[in-house]
Each structure stands twice: as C-alpha cells, then as structure tokens.
Amino acid sequence: FGERSLAGLKVLVSAGPTYEDIDPVRFIGNRSSGKMGFAVAEAAAQAGAEVSLVAGPVSLATPPGVAQRIDVRSAAQMHAAVLQAAAQADIYIGAAAVGDYRPQEVATQKLKKHDGSELVLRLAENPDILASLSAQTAHPFLVGFAAETHDVASYAQGKLRHKGLDMIAANQVGGGLGFEAADNALTLYWADAAVALPRAEKSELARQLVAHVAERYRATRG
C-alpha cells in the first residue's frame, strides 16, 4: 500500500483537551494542545483515509485533507460525538486527553469567594470513550494513547488490555515532551509486540504511527 496505506478506509481521530465547567467563567482542563491528534489526522489523510476529527477546545487550524471536523468542549460532548461518528469508522485513534472527572454540579452563576472558608468541589467520573466503543459488538479498530509520568510501559499495557484496544501509543509526559511540545516520543504496544518511535516532531511520529496502524489493520481486519 505504501504512501496510500489507508486508502478506502474511514478514520476517526480525537484530539485536544476537554473542559469541564465549574461555573460560567471557570473550568477544569488539562495541558493538551491538540498538536499530536491534529498531526495524526493529517497523516491519516495523507495516507488516503477519509478522516473525521473530533476536537476539544484548541486553537489549531483544520489540517489539509481532513474531511470533517466536529468541535466539542466537554468529555460528555466528546463521548457523544465520537460514538456517533464511530458507527461509520473503520479505525478510531483516541489522541484526546479526555477529562476523567467533571464537577457534579455546574453553577449557573459565578461562584463567590467567602473569606477564609474552603471550597469543596465534588467530581463525578466521566464515561470512558474507548471502553464504551470496545464494549460494542461491532466497533472500529481501536487505537488509544497513554500519557504517563511514570511506569509508562506497565500502565500502557494495562490500558491496552482493560480498555480492549488493538493498539496503544504510550508517551511519557513532562520534561518538555508530550503535552504542548512540538516533539514527542512514543512506544507502540499491541497484543504481542512493542515498537519504540524515538523523539521526533509530532508530524513525523504521526506518519510512523499511521503506517503501523495501517499494517496492523490490514493484518487483523483486512
């Protein structure tokens, strides 16, 4: 398949952070810029796929060749958008940093400061998008990411198994790699193998990741 390794396939990519609102002016977010996921979407389009991109709140232009972009804010919105689009997708690549928790209640008015008293936020767990997809009888080929500060290999392999994924791309975050940076380094894991993709620009890593995804997809579902 070479350059057009994903020709004829529909690829869904999620990217960026989610924002979980506390009140009309505050939210809980994370450091994801969307660069990694947008690079994956661009690389998949270059490889010939029809690409849909579900993006959290980021300030990035839609990459060339991406057929459809759906902008969302919260994890609940991303969950709904991905599940709907996944019904038509052959491959889902989850590069988004989805918030694991959201405030149990969203205040309709700006919370006011009360001098000296502590403020307690109660958080509710968000549904896991990848786990929801893998629980469906017919679902796309599933590629997750794992962002870890420590014990990267064991956490990533645990997520591969627990979330029922076909492949996971693990990155160590912090120290100038992972979130926000132009460069990253990934280790890919699947059932019986691991491949290290050393430090490079996210665009280059995205091309390598897409080549491995195409190869595994053709080997297992082709």
Nearer to ligand PMT by Cβ, of 145 and 189: the residue is 145
Q: Decide whether 14 or 48 has the Cβ nearer to ligand PMT.
A: 14
Instruction: Kindly tell me which of 75 and 210 has the beta carbon lying closer to ligand PMT.
Output: 75
Residue 95 contacts ligand PMT per CB under 6 A: yes
Cβ closer to ligand PMT: 48 or 63? Answer: 63
* Angle, helix 35-46 to helix 202-220, in steps of 10 degrees: 60
Direct distance between the N- and C-terminal alpha carbons of the chain, in angstroms, rounded to an integer: 12
Which residue in this structure is represented by tokens 């700006």?
110
Count of helix runs (H) and strand runs (E) in the chain: 5, 12
Give yes or no for residue 63 binding ligand PMT (CB under 6 A): no
By CB under 6 A, which span of 1-9, 45-53, 174-182, 187-195 interacts with ligand PMT? 174-182
C-alpha to C-alpha distances, 133 to 138, 143, 178, 183, nearest whole angstrom: 9, 11, 25, 29
From the list 42, 50, 128, 166, which residue makes contact with ligand PMT (rule: CB under 6 A)?
A: 128
**φ and ψ of 94, to 5 deg:** -95, 90
15 touches 82 (CB < 8 A): no
Residue 183 labeled ligand binder: no
Cβ proximity to ligand PMT, 85 vs 96, nearer residue: 96
Contacts of 163 (CB under 8 A, 6+ apart): 128, 130, 131, 134, 142, 144
**Residue among 25, 217, 15, 188 nearest 97 (CA):** 15
Residue 120, exposed/middle/buried by CB under 10 A (0-12, 13-18, 19+)?
exposed
> Which of residues 49, 144, 212, 213 is near ligand PMT by CB under 6 A?
144
31-39, 60-68, 203-211, 212-220 -> range binding ligand PMT (CB under 6 A): 31-39
Question: Considering only 115-123, 140-148, 191-199, 213-221, which stretch makes contact with ligand PMT by CB under 6 A?
Answer: 140-148
HSE-CB for 17 with a 13 A CA cutoff: 18
- Catalytic residue selected from 30, 126, 171, 184: 30
> Is 30 known to be catalytic?
yes
Smallest gap from residue 117 Cβ to ligand PMT (A): 32
Query: Residue from 173, 188, 205, 214 that binds ligand PMT (CB under 6 A)?
Result: 173
Handedness of CA 51, 214, 167, 137 (dihedral sign): positive
What residue ranges bind ligand PMT (CB under 6 A)? 16, 32-37, 75, 94-98, 100, 126, 128-130, 144-147, 159, 171, 173, 178-180
- Residues annotated within the binding site for CTP are 100, 110, 127-130, 145, 159, 163
Residues designated as active site: 30
